[in-house]
Amino acid sequence: MKIFISWSGTSSRELAEYLKPWLTRVIQQLRPFVSTQDIAKGKQWNSAVAEELEGTSDGIICVTRENQSAPWLNFEAGALAKATAEASVRPVLLDLAPSEVIGPLASFQHTALSNEGDVFDLVKSINSKCQDPLPDEILKHTFDREWPQLDQFLQDLRSRPSPHQKPTRNSNEILAEVLDRIRALERDNAHLSRMTERLIEGLYTGRVSAGFGYKRSRNLDGKQRVEFDGTLIDSEVDHSEYGRGTVVGVRATQSGDGSSSNRRVQVAFEGGRTVWVPPQSLFRIPGPTES
């Protein structure tokens, strides 16, 4: 009896290649087909598979958690199902439960390879379709002899890390990463707090530090930054440290090489204190006729 074994992916292929000789040891009259072993050298792979599918009505689909949505696996299952009215498509599940199967394969009766009784029912189903089926007692005896080897192979196959599976980390590695992330957040928060304080201070005084890349021309009270010229005299101004005052003088001195100018404004502040300050530290208080 011919039986087509379909696979997709590394674990599925290894399972298919193992099932081929294992099934023939249990039911000697089986003729399983696996594409990796039964296509002659030089023959076109697609045409050989298509030819085999056309002449086969029984199949085993090697399903894993990763390949159950693979297009080629579902295509082969569909081709087998449409072969004849008596066609049998038997998905065998390596590392997932029947309730986890999705897509077209979910419509078939599954075999959980982790369940010895389920696997024996699969073997009985295949045996019943043979031209000369084995008696149940002989089939059971042969199955019991061969099952331990298959079971050990399946356990080894499941224990291998998937090529798409992230390596498992121990608790110390996870804890170290969590601590690193917390420290990074603390550093970010500290930096953000400092920047926020500078921004609030700049908005309150009408000045924003150079770290923010710009300066404001008005503070929160709508007072305008002073311009350095002769019209400053007798202007009412405000200073973030000294408070309010009146401009009584201005001066500008050149450096020795003439490359820069040192500008200062003399302000008589309330309380009797007179101080020379940079003009950029002052804000003009609009008079009654100013908008």
Q: What is the CA radius of gyration of the chain?
A: 43
- Which residue, 134, 159, 184, sits at the end of a domain? 159
Boundary (domain end) residue, out of 159, 187, 210: 159
- Which CATH number covers residue 139? 3.40.50.10140
Chain mean pLDDT for the chain: 81
34, 148: one domain = yes
Q: Which residue has tokens 């530290």?
A: 281
Q: Are residues 274 and 153 in the same domain?
A: no
Domain annotation covers residue 250: yes
Confidence of residue 204 (pLDDT cuts 50, 70, 90): very low
Report the CATH number that the domain containing residue 234 is assigned in CATH.
2.40.10.170
Q: Quick one: 152 and 233 in the same domain?
A: no
pLDDT tens-digit series, residues 76-128: 888 888 866 778 999 999 999 999 999 889 999 999 999 999 999 999 999 99
Residue 197 pLDDT grade (very low, low, confident, very high; cuts 50, 70, 90): low
Distance CA 278, CA 288 (A): 25
Q: Given the structure tokens 């200062």, which residue do they identify?
A: 264
The pLDDT of residue 136 is 94
Of 111, 156, 134, 171, nearest to 24 by C-alpha is 134
Highest mean predicted confidence (pLDDT) among 88-97, 194-203, 240-249: 88-97
> Residue 23 in contact with residue 126, Cβ under 8 Å?
yes
102 burial via Cβ count (<10 Å: 0-12, 13-18, 19+) = exposed
80-93 pLDDT, tens digit each: 888 667 789 999 99
Q: Please indicate, yes or no, whether residues 155 and 229 belong to a single structural domain of this protein.
A: no
Q: Is residue 209 part of a domain?
A: no
Question: In DSSP terms, which residues pair with 285 in a beta bridge?
Answer: none
Q: How far is CA 100 from CA 66, 73, 94, 103, 106, in A?
A: 12, 17, 12, 10, 9
The whole-number pLDDT of residue 137 equals 96
Domain end, chosen from 142, 159, 176, is at: 159
Q: Look at residue 243 and tell me whether its pLDDT is greater than 70.
A: yes
Q: Is residue 203 part of a domain?
A: no
Residue 187 pLDDT > 90? no
* pLDDT recorded at residue 51: 87
Q: What are the tens digits of pLDDT across the range 151-165?
A: 999 999 999 876 555
Q: How many domains does the chain have?
A: 2
0.75 surpassed by pTM:
no
Contact 30, 65 (CB under 8 A): no
* H-only helix segments in the chain: 10-26, 35-38, 45-54, 71-81, 116-128, 136-159, 171-205
Of residues 117 and 168, the one with the higher pLDDT is: 117
Residue 188, in any domain of the structure: no
Tell whether 260 is covered by a domain: yes
Q: How many CB atoms lie within 10 A of CB 19?
A: 21
CA proximity to 278, closest of 251, 244, 243: 251
* Res. 7: pLDDT tops 80: yes
In a domain, 176, yes or no: no
Structure tokens of 117?
């009784």
Predicted pLDDT at 215: 36
Q: Which two tokens stand for residue 274?
A: 């007179």
Cα distance between the two ends of the chain: 101
Q: Which residue has the tokens 């009215």?
A: 85
- Residue 163 confidence (pLDDT): 57
Domain span at residue 247 reads 224-284
